[in-house]
Structure 1
Amino acid sequence: MTDLPDAVAAAAHDPLVITLLIFALGGLLTHLLFRKQPLGRAVARVIFLIALTIVLLRAGVVPYEARYLAPTSFQVAVHGTLKIAWWLLAAWFLVGVLRAFVVTEHRPREGKLVQDLLAGVIYLAAVFAIIAYVFDLPIQGLLATSGAIAIILGLALQSTLADVFSGIVLTFSRPYRPGDWISIDGSTDGRVIEMNWRATHVLTVNRDLAIVPNSAIARAKILNASSPSGTHGMTVTIQLDAKTPPGAAGEILERAMLNSRLILATPPSSIIVKSITASSTEFDITFFVEELAQASRAQNELFDLIFRHLAASGVELAATQSQPYSPLQTAASQRAANGPERALNLVEIFATLTAEERQSLAPKLKQRTYDRGETLVDPGMVLHSLFIIGAGVLSVTSVVSEGGIELMRLGPGDHFGEIGLLTGAAATAKISALVPTTVYELTKDDLAPVLEARPPVAQELCRALARRQAAGQLIPSPAIDKTISANRVASWFADRLHRLFDLTSSK
C-alpha cells in the first residue's frame, strides 16, 4: 500500500498514460463530431494510427514484441491497451486499403465477397497478433485448441457451412442472377429476387416465396430460362382427325401461331408430325415467347386460336378413347360445312342466335378474298359494314411518321368496321393480310332485320364492343376516347345502335 502513491506519480509522468487518455477523449469526440461523416472518421483514424505509432516507438514500445519496460502493473496495462489499439487500427487501415484497391468492376458481387473474405483474414491475424504480442501467449497451443473447436463446430454446423460454401461457389460461377427465371430440378420455378450466402429466394409463378438452401441448389439441375437471353421455348401437342392431310393441317396450325402476338417470329416456331394413325395425326408445336412469365398466357391463347382456326376450316380434333368416333357428331359438323356458317358460329355477338337463324343469315354474307400483303383498309377510309374474318390472319397497324406500330392481329371469328358503321368515323389504322385471308361483309341493311327481330343480339353487340374497347381490341375511335367514359361505353354503343337502326328499346 505504501507504493501506491509512488505508482500513481510514476503513471502521471508516463507519456503513454497521457496518450491513452488523449486517445480515449479523441475517440469520443470523433464519434460525436463525425457521426454522419464517414470520411471524417476515416481521416481521424488514420491520424490516430500515425500518431500512436510515433508515440509507441519513441517510448520504446514495439507493437510486434512481447516485452514491457514499464515499472508498474498499471503502466503495463496501459501499454498493452495501446498496443491492442494499434493492432486494431492497423487492421482497419489494411482493410480500408483493400476495399479501395481490390475492386472488380465487371463483377461487383464477386469483388465484395473477396473483400469480405480478405478482411476476415486480416482481422483474424490481428487477433492472433494481439494474443501473441500483447498477452504473450503461445499461439501454437491456441491454434491446436481452436482447430479442435473448429472441428466440433464444423460437425455441428455442417448443413449451414455447406450452404455458405455452396453460396460462395454459386456467387463465383453465377449460374443465375437476381431477376432471372429459373427452374430448380423441375420442382421450383420462378424469378430470383435475392441471393445470399445461405439461400436463394425465388418468387414462384404462384406468387409464393421459396427460400431454397444453396447446398440443395449446388446439387440440383438448374434451368435458367433467362440465359443466354430471356427467350423461352415450349412445346404443346395437338391431335387432329386423320381425315385432314398433315400438310393442310400444319398450314392451319401455322396460321394459328401467326395469329398470336405473344409468339416470337425469331427464333422461328416449328411444327412436327409426331405420329399418324388411322384415327388421328399428332403434332408437336414448338414456339418461343419473350420470357417465362408469358408462357402460360401464350399457351392458353394459342389453344384458343387453334380451336378457332380449326373450326373455321372445318377440321376436327381427334376423338379420344373416352369419346370415340360418333356419326351423329360428324353429321352435325357437316350441317355447318360452308365457310359463312362456320364464321358466324365463331362470332361472339351472334352466340344467342339459333342455328336456323345463323343459316338464314349466312347467305347474306358477301365473301372477299385477299392475298398475303394486300391492304384491306387504309387510314381515312369509312367502313359502313361489319366485316367478319372467316379464315386467315389480319394485322392492324397504326401508321406513324417513324413507321408502323402493330396494334393487334385478327383471326377467324374476329370482326372490324363496327366503329365506322355506328359513328361514320374514318378508320385510323391500316389493316392488311399476313396470309391469304377470307373476309365476309355484312351490310347495315342485312344486319338491321337481325337486330330488330332479336334485341338480345343488339345488347350483346354493345357489351362485346365495350369489352373489346376496354381491352384495346378495337381500332381507336376519337369519338369514344375523348367524350365517353369507360363505364358508359356500352350505353353509348346501345344509343348509337338504336338511332342507326331505329330499334325499339327493350328491357
Structure 2
Amino acid sequence: MNKDSITFWGVLIATLYPLLAILISEINYRLKKINHPSVATVSVLKNVFLPLVTVYLTLVKIIPYDFPAVFLKLYETTLWIVGLYLFINFVNQIFFTDSDVGEDRKTRVPKLLQQIMRMIVIAIGFAVIASEIWGSDLGSLITALGVTSLVLGLALQDTLGNLFSGISLLYERPFHTGDWIQIDSHYGKIVEMNWRAIRIVNRQNDMITIPNSYLGKQVFLNYSRPNKFHAESLQVSFNNEEPPNQVKSIIEDIILSTENIRKDPPFEVKTIKFDNHKVDYEVLYFIDDFWESELIKDELYTKIWYGAKRHNLRLPNPVSYGKPWTKEEFNKENYLLSKSQLILGSPVFSGLSVSYLKEFIKKSDFNIFGKGEVIVQQSERSNHVHLIIKGKVDIYVESEGESVFVGMAKKGELFGEMELLNNTANEGTVIAHTDLELLSIPYRVINDLIENNLSVKRKFDALIKIRKKEQFNKLHDDREQE
C-alpha cells in the first residue's frame, strides 16, 4: 500500500463521510416532519451502516496493517447483514406501507406473499455472503434448487400464473377497489382484489370471480378512470314536424332539472338524423357514479315523455303504429268540463256558473307531470296558479340552507296563489309526489276573476292566511326538533 493511495483514501473518507452524514440527516429530518415510516431505517443507515463502511474502508485502505482474514470476513459479513436489513426495510416501506397508495397495496398483497418475498431476498443475500466472502461452492445447491423449482413450477403453473399476474396488476394499478369495469360480457363494481383473482358485483347483485391469469390476457374497460365522472348518452326521436330548436330547448330544461347530472363538463343535445317520419336526437351528459347510470337514464326518458305531452310535441309514430296524440284529438275543454265538479268543489271557485267555468277553462292550460318532476322552483317567477286535477305534490321551503318539507297538496287543492297576490317570486319548491294532472290558470285570468267577484277575493285572502300559518308552524316545529 503506497503513500499516495493512503492519502487519496484518507481525503476521500474525510470528505465524503461528513457530507453523507449531513445529507442523510437532512433527509431524515424531512421524513420526520411528514411522519414517514422509514425514519427508523434511515437512522440505522446514518448511525450504523455509514460508520461501519467508513471503518471498513479505513481498515483496508488506510491503516498499514495486515488484519487476520477471519476478522475481515466477519466484518464484511456484518456489513452485508446490515445492508440486507436496510434493503428489506426500504422495500417493505416503499411497497407495503408508507403513503396512501402504499396502504392500499398493503391491504391487497397477502402477508404470506410478503413473507415469501422477504425470505427469498434473505436467502439470496446469505448465498452471496457464503459465496463471495467465505468462498463456498453453491453450484450443487443451485442445481438442486433449480430442479426443484422446475418441478414446482410445472405442478403449480396455474396458481403461479394467477400469483404473478396479480402482482403485476397490483403494481400497474389499472383499477382500484370500487371501480366499475367491464371484461368481455361481464361488468360490475370491484369489491375485492387479491393475489389470485378479483371479485366484482354486477347490477343484479351477483358476485363474479375473475382469475388474475385470465384478466392479464384481456382488454378491459374501466368506467371510473381516468376521472370518476363518466359520460353517458341516450337517443330520443320526435315527429319530423316538430321544430328541432324547440325539442332541444325542452330536453335541455329537463337535463338541468335532473339531479346527479354534472354541469361540468357541460351536456350536449344534438340533432343526428332525420327521415320521412322522425328526427333523432342524441343527448350526451356526464355523471359522477356509474352505478346510477341506468336510474338516471330511466329518469330522463320518463321526463322527456312527460315534457313532450306538456308541450304537445308528437313522438315518432309511423302509420303502421297508429296515430299520435295531438292537440286536436285531445279535447282539453271537454276533459276539464268532465272534472267540473272537482273544480267547483274547490273553496275558491265554488259558486262559479257553468258558463263562466267554460270560459275560465278555455283560457287555462292543462299540464301533466311525472312523479319527481319539479313544477315550481323556489325564488323563480311564475305566472300561473295551479289546481290539482289528479295526484299529489310535495311542497318544500329553503330555510337556513336546508330544504324543509312544509306540506302536501292533493286533488282539488291549489298552489301558487300566494305568489300571485303578493307579487313575489315562488316562496317554495313544488315537486310531483305522484303522476300529476294540473289545471294551470294564468295570473291574468285569476286577476280578472278577483276584480269581478268580491266573494272569490275573500276566499283567496282566507286561503293565503291559512297557508302562511301552516308554513310558519311547520318551520317553527322543525327548528324546535333540532
Q: TM-score, normalised by structure 1?
A: 0.51
Report the residue type matching 1:324 in the other structure. S
- Structure 1 residue 293 displacement after superposition: 1.6
- Structure 1's 307 and 132: CA in aligned 2 closer, same or farther, altered over 3 A? same
Change (3 A) 1:63 1:315: farther
Inter-partner Cα distance in structure 2 for 1:249 and 1:339: 26
Q: 1:111 to 1:166 in 2, by over 3 A?
A: same
Q: Which amino acid aligns with 1:159?
A: D
Match of 1:326 in 2: 322
Q: Distance in 2 between matches of 1:407 and 1:227?
A: 37
Q: Which runs of 5+ in 1 are unaligned?
A: 1-38, 40-59, 66-82, 351-358, 369-374, 390-394, 433-437, 447-475, 485-507
Determine the C-alpha separation between the residues in 2 that align with 1:299 and 1:116: 49
Q: Matches of 2:277 and 2:312 in 1, distance apart?
A: 16
Q: How does 1:348-427 map to 2 (within 5 A)?
A: 363=361, 366=364, 386=386, 398=398, 400=400, 418=415
Kindly report which structure 2 residues correspond to 1:81-160, keeping only aligned pairs within 5 A, or say none: 95=88, 99=92, 105=99, 107-108=101-102, 119-125=118-124, 139-160=138-159
Distance 1:97 1:235, change over 3 A: closer
1:229 is the counterpart of 2:227: yes
In structure 1, the partner of 2:296 is 298
Alpha-carbon distance in 2 for matches of 1:158, 1:414: 71
* Structure 2 portions without partners, runs of 5+: 1-39, 41-68, 344-356, 367-375, 390-394, 419-423, 431-438, 450-469
Q: Is the 8 A contact 1:178 1:195 kept in 2?
A: yes
What corresponds to 1:246 in structure 2? 244
Match for 2:254 among 253, 256, 275?
256
Residues 398 and 405 in structure 1, CA contact (< 8 A), matched pair in contact too:
yes
Aligned counterpart for 2:329 among listed residues 335, 342, 366 = 335
1:138, distance to aligned residue in structure 2 (A): 5.2
Letter aligned with residue 441 of structure 2: Y
Bigger shift: 123-132 or 246-255? Answer: 123-132
Cα distance, 1:297 vs structure 2: 1.3
Cα distance, 1:205 vs structure 2: 2.2
Report the 3-state secondary structure (helix = DSSP H, G, I; strand = E; otherwise coil) of the residue aligned with 1:144: helix
Residue 282 of structure 1 is matched in structure 2 by 280
Contact 1:195 1:201 in 2 (8 A): yes
Tell me by how many angstroms 1:151 deviates: 2.2
Q: Of 208, 211, 223, which aligns to 1:210?
A: 208
Matched with 2:196 is 198
Identical amino acids, percent of aligned pairs: 19
Change (3 A) 1:289 1:199: same
* CA offsets 1:361-385 (integer angstroms, 9 cap, x no match): 98077569xxxxxx98669x9x996
Structure 1 equivalent of residue 307 of structure 2: 309
Is the CA contact (8 Å cut-off) linking 2:273 and 2:280 kept in structure 1?
Answer: yes
Distance 2:193 2:298 in 1: 32
Aligned residue-pair number: 338
RMSD: 5.7
1:290 CA displacement:
1.7
Query: In the TM superposition, what is the alpha-carbon distance from 1:265 to its structure 2 partner?
Result: 1.8
Write the distance in 2 (CA, Å) between the matches of 1:98 and 1:259.
Answer: 52
Query: How far off its partner does 1:308 sit?
Result: 0.6
User: d(CA) in 1 for partners of 2:180 and 2:235?
Assistant: 24
Q: Who is 2:165 aligned against? A: 166
Q: Deviations over 1:178-223 (max 9, x none)?
A: 2222222352222x22222221222222222222222222222332
DSSP-derived class of the 1:398 partner: strand
Residues of 2 paired with 1:362 and 1:341: CA distance? 14
Post-superposition CA distance 1:319-359 (Å, at most 9, x none): 26xx72535x557x5232669979x99xxx99xxxxxxxx9
Pair 407,200 (structure 1): closer, same or farther in 2 beyond 3 Å: farther
Deviation sequence 1:433-474 (CA, Å, 0-9, x none): xxxxx953698xx9xxxxxxxxxxxxxxxxxxxxxxxxxxxx
**C-alpha distance in structure 2 between counterparts of 1:427 and 1:253, whole Å:** 25
Query: How much has 1:304 moved relative to structure 2?
Result: 1.0
- Residue 166 of structure 2 contacts residue 213 of structure 2 at CA under 8 Å; is this kept in 1? yes
Compared CA separation, residues 101 and 164, structure 1 to 2 (3 A): closer
Conserved in 1, the CA contact under 8 Å of 2:182 and 2:220? yes
3-state SS of 2:205 partner: coil
Residue 35 of structure 1 corresponds to which residue in structure 2?
A: none
The aligned counterpart of 1:440 is 441
Residues 40-75 of structure 1 show CA distances to partners (whole Å, capped at 9, x for unaligned) of xxxxxxxxxxxxxxxxxxxx999989xxxxxxxxxx
| TM-superposed deviation, 1:258 | 2.2
SS in 1 for 2:304: helix
Tell me which amino acid in the other structure corresponds to 1:121.
I
CA distance in 1, matches of 2:252, 2:334: 22
